Amino acid sequence: MPHQSVLITGGAAGIGRATAARFIADGWQVGAIDRDQTQLDALRNEFGDGNVWTHCADVCDPEAVGAAIEAFMGVTGGRLDVVVNNAGLVAAGAFEAGDIARYRAVVDVNVTGLVTVARAAFPYLAATPGARLINMSSASAAYGTPGYAVYSATKHAVSAFTEALDAEWHRHGIRVRAVWPLFVQTAMVTEIGPQRTIDRMGVRLRPDDVAGAIARASGAPHWWPQLHWTVGWQGFFFVNLTRFCPTWINRLAMRWIAGY
């Protein structure tokens, strides 16, 4: 039986790299797309050409994404069991103080890029029995998060996209799932600098924790109904609390956590 194959966007560092390492350890054929060639080279040097295929591409470029997926299919013989839509950007701080160019980039990568990858991967997922699309959401999709307004909005979009596409693609035998971590020990969190939300909530997750959730979502039985996969007890508690609390309590709690 051919090796199962997984294609990971933003696969060269952070959560993407940990996910690649997890699937390599499990014996999968792994492909990693990223726009950072230096980090892709480091990934390939660490794990070897025989274990990971890499391609430099911007997920917001439909032609580049299509070419990357087609090239990976040449390696796998057309088999695509899982796509992990992990590439993402963040913007933090008071909305009115932010840079509109950065906000546009966050929306482009987190939403447009995710949609672009899903669309390009569809024919290969549909041709592979039991295929999965795993989208990277966030605990900030549970309730709009002050200080992360644009980022939070993109993750709400990812949540809705996941729900709609899972219903649509059921007829093609493709399951669509979303993974919802809180803050993770990655360069993305480090680069945004001090934030009261991070001080209040802490950074309790490692990339390996998220990679484990992605692996579980990828490997769950096809009939398993769970669409949204939280990561860690803190994320589980936070997401479910916002679902059951009245809106006014959620609003006050988020203002307190974020300091607004």
What's the pLDDT tens digit per position in 84-121? Answer: 999 999 999 999 999 999 999 999 999 999 999 999 99
Residue 192 — left, alpha, or beta (φ > 0 → left; ψ -120 to 50 → alpha)?
alpha
Residues 20, 52 contacting (CB under 8 angstroms):
yes
Give the pLDDT mean for 228-233. 91
Give the pLDDT mean for 44-62. 95
Domain boundaries, the chain: 5-258
Which stretches within 48-191 are classed as H helix?
A: 62-76, 100-107, 114-126, 149-169, 187-191
Residue 2 is predicted with a pLDDT of 63
Query: Is a pLDDT exceeding 60 seen at residue 1?
Result: no
- The CATH code of the domain at 5-258 is 3.40.50.720
pTM of the model: 0.93
Residue numbers annotated as active site: 151
Locus of tokens 């939070």: 152
